[in-house]
Amino acid sequence: MTRSESARRSNYHAYAPPEEFIVPLLKTHIEEVLSKYLKPLESNKRVLDVGCGGQPFRKALEELGYKYMGIDISQNSNGTVDIICEIDKALPDEIIELGSFDLIFCTEVMEHVADWNMAFSNFSKLLNSGGKLFITCPHFYQLHEAPYDFWRPTPFALQYFTEKHNFRVLHQENAGDAWDVLGTLLASVYSLPVSQRFRDRLLNRFVKLIKEILFNILRDRKLQNSVQLKGLVYMSNIFLCQKN
């Protein structure tokens, strides 16, 4: 299994049109949770960044006072991944021997994890009693890192695995609205004429133009500032729980 360069981002900036809505959204929510819930009360607390990639939040976690360690399925270009392993497989001795952690930080990874039972079991093994598990994962997003893209969980899936593995929910939020979903959808699709007939080619050009105009309006937040678009759709799960 390999990870794309975008998955190994060292910062949370959008690199492609489909990221224009979800990446800034995630950055805002992650920073809010860090500020509100994850400030350690004592020094020398330890955090494990699962699926750390380019470690975009390492500095923020260290500034909060955590001693940082990152794991991933392969090494990053800077050589800063501490242990190479998969969170839904048997844990290697080298991480077990390190002892337990106070926080597990796992952002935009769980959609690529096939065995959630094993992953949550390992989260429990790696956390102190009272330790916190922070997860973000998309509810709506295009297929990516194929064929290692398995899930788009609902809030109820996260609650189910939380309760099953002896965690309790501290914070749960459905991030993003229908405008974000629509903007991401527009950025993730393209149109083609069904034939070379003039009518089909003309309609295709019209559709492409309308799609581009609407995407730019949504990206610039012009509609969102005036109109709410409601519905049972959202972009990403923001989830914090604590080991009992």
**What is the block-wise mean pLDDT of the chain (244 residues), using blocks of 10 residues?**
59 92 97 94 91 96 96 94 96 94 97 98 96 98 95 97 96 97 97 97 98 96 93 97 97
My answer on whether 198 and 83 are in the same domain is no
My answer on whether 83 and 43 are in the same domain is yes
Domain assignment of residue 202, given as a range: 180-219
On the 0-12 / 13-18 / 19+ scale of CB atoms within 10 A, 224 is middle
My answer on whether 75 and 154 are in the same domain is yes
| pTM over the 0.85 mark | yes
**pLDDT tens digits along 167-219:** 999 999 999 999 999 999 999 999 999 999 999 999 999 999 999 999 999 99
Helix and strand counts by DSSP (H, E) for the chain? 7, 7
My answer on whether 135 and 236 are in the same domain is yes
Domain count, the chain: 2
